[in-house]
Amino acid sequence: MRLPVQVLIFLFASLVLLSVTAEYVPSAGGDQLGNTESDHSHNAGTTRGTASPKEHHHSHHVVSHGDRRARHKHHNHHTHHKHQRHHKHQGGTHSGPTPARSPDATNQGGTVPTCGVQPKKDNGTTPAGDQKHCEPAGGMATQYWDCCKVAGAWPGHKSVNGTAYSCAKDGVTQLEDPQVTSGCQGGTAFACNNHQPFISATNPNLAYAVGARPSQLGVDSFMGACYSIQFKELPGKTLVFQVINTGRYPTDKQIDIQVPGGGVGELNTCPAQWGSPPDGWGRRYGGILMKAQCEQLPPELQPGCHWRYDWLAPPDHPDGINPTIASMCRVKCPTILTYLTGTTRFDEASFPDPPY
């Protein structure tokens, strides 16, 4: 039996349609192009890899504020001027210090640097330095003022452009010759008065200071370097700290801030420079006990002594403490410090600007 032409055409078209429909089978978990879920995960992983780095978190270590013996112990290990003699022996052929740049009263840094991610600018209270430039937290900030020539004032440090200044007996006249013997060794080189801490003229929560780090870290790794430091007991405050001294300490997390009235430690030339009592002002290890005793110091050193109680001491411990380091990140040294110390490091360009 012969079918009509119209029927044959209809049957042929139906077969073609069924064949095309059977060729498309969606992949499990995919889309109309056959992309699977694992394909999407791979592409999303590339996007995640370009995200901002994870924020760096610092540990916190609580110490007893009332234990004055801890301060004694730290200062009992403070023997940085033994290292000075070593530097003098090694560096006899080096030239004198490079003159410091002229100060710029308006230049105390630049943009606020960060630890990992960019925070909002908040007047110097943000931890400075990116993740790879931050030090372990939890150490203490002890204080000293022994009137001696600092270790950074001796020649022989390979990491710095110019030695730090030492001063004549008046604490004002800067000595250009780095070979002048320290007053702690019977010589005529002493600590400079303007190396005492001070508060920023534009930000009361920001202060500047110099001091020492432990020699066991390697002196050339930190001499002349600056750090943005925050303390557990002083929320909202930031200290920009330049290292111009060194010594042996019981822990490599410690810093020792050069503060008048902070205790003279093992070596002491304050009687020779200022006519102080044999053990300096107050206790030999720990210094004076309260702000009123700052009046025992020469008028030239009293501003730094007052800073110890007005800025560094928390309200609940007005007699002063060794605050705990909550964050400590390497930054460029601000001109306001390098003008006073006379020294900078060759690697300064590698680090973020300091807070201001």
Structure tokens at 331: 């930054």
Question: Residue 331 pairs with which residues in a beta bridge?
Answer: 226
Question: Residue 131 pairs with which residues in a beta bridge?
Answer: none
Whole-angstrom distance, CA of residue 23 vs CA of residue 333: 71
Amino acid at 179: Q
Active site residue 104: no
Catalytic residue among 39, 252, 256, 353: 256
Q: Where are the beta strands (DSSP E) in the chain?
A: 141-144, 160-161, 166-167, 174-175, 198-199, 206-214, 226-231, 238-247, 255-258, 325-331, 344-345
Burial of 54 (0-12, 13-18, 19+ CB in 10 A): exposed
Structure tokens at 198: 């001070």
Q: Which residues contact 39 (CB under 8 A, 6 or more apart)?
A: 30
Whole-angstrom distance, CA of residue 84 vs CA of residue 219: 11
Distance of CA 53 to the CA centre of its chain: 21
Nearest to 209 by CA among 172, 178, 255, 249: 255
The residue assigned the tokens 């390497």 is 330
Nearest to 153 by CA among 168, 134, 138: 168
Q: Do the beta carbons of residue 278 and residue 271 sit within 8 Å?
A: yes
Catalytic residue among 39, 104, 122, 146: 146
Active site residue 130: no
Whole-angstrom distance, CA of residue 250 vs CA of residue 74: 7
Task: Give catalytic residues, as residue numbers.
Answer: 146, 256
